[in-house]
């Protein structure tokens, strides 16, 4: 009896390691990218870096630079983008929280195409009616320090060398 419970507990722990996509972002979605022409009402899961937050009276729109998603539906660090898109949801999203450069993933349906001036260029991008908005935690830049590892830490290369504990 206790062996089967132990086996079940170990199996459950191993299977939880296989879950990679956060629960709100799971589901079946179209493979369209923001730079491809898409049909209205197509359900998509897109992500990228936040460019700008556009609060209005009844909704907030986020302008996002689309990037490919990794296996956990998080935007990848790549120099190549897949086009911009606008994601709109009812309510207010504070621009102090949704800062430019943060990573987001959204799910929802394509509503329409909107035009926006970027410099002198008129850019046409899809607008998504957001069902789920996932703001990813900021990635930490950790400096990795390589430490030289001596293969002979106490006695050196030669056996007649006295080592660090030799005192006269």
Q: Which domains does the chain have, with CATH numbers?
A: 27-135 (2.40.50.140)
Alpha helices in 67-153 (DSSP H): none
pLDDT tens digits for 100-149?
999 999 999 999 899 999 899 999 999 999 999 999 999 888 887 766 55
State pTM to two decimals. Answer: 0.70
Share of the chain above pLDDT 70, in %: 74
Residue 83 DSSP SS3: coil
Task: Give CA separation, 36 vs 61, 93, 125, in Å.
Answer: 20, 27, 9
Give 37 or 151, the one with higher predicted confidence: 37
Q: Which two tokens stand for residue 8?
A: 């079940």
* Element spanning 12, H or E: helix 2-16
Confidence of residue 41 (pLDDT cuts 50, 70, 90): confident
């Amino acid at each position: 009896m206790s062996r089967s419970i132990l086996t079940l507990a170990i199996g459950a722990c191993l299977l939880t390691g296989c879950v990679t996509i956060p629960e709100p972002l799971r589901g079946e979605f179209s493979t369209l990218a923001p730079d491809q022409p898409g049909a209205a009402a197509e359900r998509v899961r897109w992500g990228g870096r936040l460019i700008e937050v556009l609060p209005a009276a009844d909704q907030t729109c986020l302008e996002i630079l689309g990037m490919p998603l990794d296996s956990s539906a998080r935007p990848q660090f790549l120099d190549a983008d897949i086009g911009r898109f606008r994601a709109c949801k009812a309510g207010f999203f504070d621009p102090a929280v949704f800062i430019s450069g943060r990573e987001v993933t959204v799910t929802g349906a394509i509503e329409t195409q909107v035009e926006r001036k970027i410099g002198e260029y008129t850019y046409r991008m899809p607008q998504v009616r957001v069902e789920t908005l996932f703001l990813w935690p900021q990635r930490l830049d950790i400096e990795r320090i390589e430490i030289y590892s001596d293969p002979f830490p106490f006695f050196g290369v030669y056996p007649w060398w006295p080592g660090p504990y030799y005192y006269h």
